[in-house]
Amino acid sequence: MRHTNRPISTAVSAETIERELADGLALPSDAVARYALGLGDDALILAQRLGEWIARAPELEEDVALGNIGLDLLGHARSFLTYAGSAWGRTEDDLAYFRDEAEFRNHQLFERPNGDFAHTIARQLIASVYFDALYARLQASSDPTLAAIAAKAVKEVEYHLDHSVQWVRRLGLGTDVSHERMQAGLDAMWPFVDHLFRPDRGAAELEGVAVPPQSLRDVFDRTVPAVIAEAGLQVPGIPGARGGGRDGVHTEAFGHLLAEMQVLARAHPGATW
């Protein structure tokens, strides 16, 4: 994840955060770092999943679209993980490549296998609404680094949301097969929606810094059912799954994802390219 080239843009990035920390920006407290770690893991794991589509999407153009979304998310992940890691003397790479399954704090939704294209779009719709609502509020965080990351991310996430909405509509209102698959995708992802909005002890202790997850449920409930209904689909009535990624509890598919993501860095520690 580390690159020696500095970006031309002045927008916040892992590199600008690293420089500011070197120039004397106060390190995050342990609580802030743990909060940033959860957000970073969410973005990192979904980016890894989206990367799996490259060269496998239904069309070349969709390879690029999903790849772009993944790269945006990877940018957010790098910023959050760089900031989080600074509290513990660890780099973004240490955190991404040298933690084991139970140490990851991402919600389970983001590690769900890609399934078919409709499954991926269903996951992306839920994820994008969640990120959009989260970053819109996190921009006002009293922690300037978290606020800056959110301000950069929210604009990108708005586009991700549009991409998902466009596809849900087309698949839902397309052919019988596309409709059926889109519904199946929503049904498969729905058990992991509730996790996103569960009260979080860490966030609760960081008033003004963190966004309480339960405060985002309202935006989700106002947005997602409307998109689903407009596409002629049904809001799934499936109850939430047990366990939660924020506590380090993950689904079976996660181990495979980590193995693929981490194998190179672990086989060749310190490798650069």
Partner 1 sequence: MAASDSGATTAGGGAGKTGSTETWPLWEVFIRSSRGLAHVHAGSLHAPDAVMAVRNARDLYTRRGEGVSVWVVPSSAITASDVDARGAFFESAEGKEFRHATYYTDSEGVPHL
**Which SS3 state, helix, strand or coil, does residue 210 take?**
strand
| Least distance from partner 1 to the Cβ atom of residue 59, Å | 6
Three-class SS of 65-113: HHHHHHHHHHHHHHHHHHHHHHCCCCCHHHHHHCCCHHHCCCCHHHHCC
The CA distance from 243 to 252, in Å, is 12
For residue 269 the two structure tokens come to 């520690």
| Least distance from partner 1 to the Cβ atom of residue 33, Å | 33
The 112-151 site mask, x for binding partner 1 (CB under 8 A), equals ----------------------------------------
- Is residue 176 a contact point for partner 1 (CB under 8 A)? no
- Is residue 152 a contact point for partner 1 (CB under 8 A)? no
What are the φ and ψ backbone dihedral angles of 91, each rounded to 5 degrees? -90, 170
Q: Nearer to partner 1 by C-beta: 8 or 267?
A: 8
The CA distance from 134 to 111, in Å, is 19
Q: Nearer to partner 1 by C-beta: 159 or 220?
A: 159
Q: Nearer to partner 1 by C-beta: 96 or 171?
A: 171
- Is residue 68 a contact point for partner 1 (CB under 8 A)? yes
Query: For residue 126, which of 40, 188, 215, 204 has the smallest C-alpha distance?
Result: 188
- Is residue 163 a contact point for partner 1 (CB under 8 A)? yes
Q: Nearer to partner 1 by C-beta: 61 or 252?
A: 61
Site for partner 1 in 37-56 (CB under 8 A): none
- Is residue 178 a contact point for partner 1 (CB under 8 A)? no
- Start-to-end Cα distance in the chain: 10
Contact positions toward partner 1, by CB under 8 A? 59-61, 64-65, 68, 162-163, 166, 170
